[in-house]
Amino acid sequence: MILVLWTLVLIGFIVAHLTASGRTEILIAGNLVSNSVAEAAADGAIYEAIFNLSDPRPEARWPIDGSARQFAIGSSHVTLRLEDEASRINPSSAPPELLEALLRVCGSDPETARRLAASIGEWVGSPAVTRPQSAVVAEYRSAGLDYGPPGGPLESLDELDRVLGMTPAILAAIRPHLTLFGPADPNPASTDPVVAAALALLPQAGTVAPAFNQSPPDVSTVRITTLAAGPGNARVVRSAIVRIASPLPPGYNVLAWGSVPNSEIPVAAPGASLTR
């Protein structure tokens, strides 16, 4: 009898374990499905935006003003935001004065901003003051770094983390206002308030403020950010940078596409459109 009881206990334990494992696997599978549904909706919204911005009728296109648009795709609720890349600063080609102004607006003291802007200029190969490469490398060596500036355009914004004097906090502060796909001089009517404040700091005398190089009317570079809230509380944020130009074979060219940090999740602003 005792042997039978212990056998039943063992069988009960095995059944309970299998049931618990099965429930866990079902939950994991459900989460994967929910995330896949939300990601498909987020990517679908990006394609819908590209299709809209390629409309030959300018009056039918959504405005590229950073405001949020909300609509549904399948079972997911999507928030979409369109931003002009010319509203951000391109560190590979921006004047040192503008980089310094951005750093100051983002909280750096004037001396730190000046030195860091100079270091970024040397990193990307456009220093305000040219110095011997040996002297620049010696500075990096004295800081305990075994490398020096490559002297060329950035391949990724992550590369700025290697610039002499850059800290994670400073990079986190300026990164949302940077781009690798914008012009050398941002649009003076920038919809980014931080970039607008940096432009306002540029001196109007002595140093000439940069002049915005307007793209042709039929060419625009747009950052499309989507947040899809799907079933099962799934949330996926996707972003694409797309150049819209009628001369291109499909009418557009995707420059970048991927997920974005939670800090860049688009939110509905007052007065945002709630329809397509």
Instruction: Tell me the per-residue pLDDT of 239-261, one tens digit each, with 9 for 90 and over.
Output: 999 999 877 778 899 999 988 75
The domain limits of the chain are 37-87+217-264, 96-178
Higher pLDDT, 69 or 209: 69
pLDDT in tens, 196-207: 999 999 876 334
Report the pLDDT averaged over residues 8-31.
62
Asked if residue 42 lies in contact with residue 238, where contact means CB atoms within 8 angstroms, the answer is yes
151 dihedral zone (left: phi>0; alpha: psi -120 to 50; beta):
left
Residue 3, pLDDT score:
63
Quick one: CATH architecture of 96-178? Orthogonal Bundle (1.10)
Report the pLDDT averaged over residues 80-86.
94
**Please, which residues bridge with residue 235 across strands?**
229
Residue 266, pLDDT score:
43
Classify domain 37-87+217-264 at the CATH topology level: Pantoate--beta-alanine Ligase; Chain: A,domain 2 (3.30.1300)
Separation CA 154–CA 164 (nearest Å):
15
**Cα dist from 4 to 10, 14, 18, whole Å:** 10, 15, 21
C-alpha count within 13 angstroms, C-beta hemisphere, residue 234: 25
Asked if residue 61 lies in contact with residue 249, where contact means CB atoms within 8 angstroms, the answer is no
49 dihedral zone (left: phi>0; alpha: psi -120 to 50; beta):
alpha
Q: Structure tokens of 40?
A: 């498909």
C-alpha count within 13 angstroms, C-beta hemisphere, residue 206: 3
Higher pLDDT, 181 or 19: 181
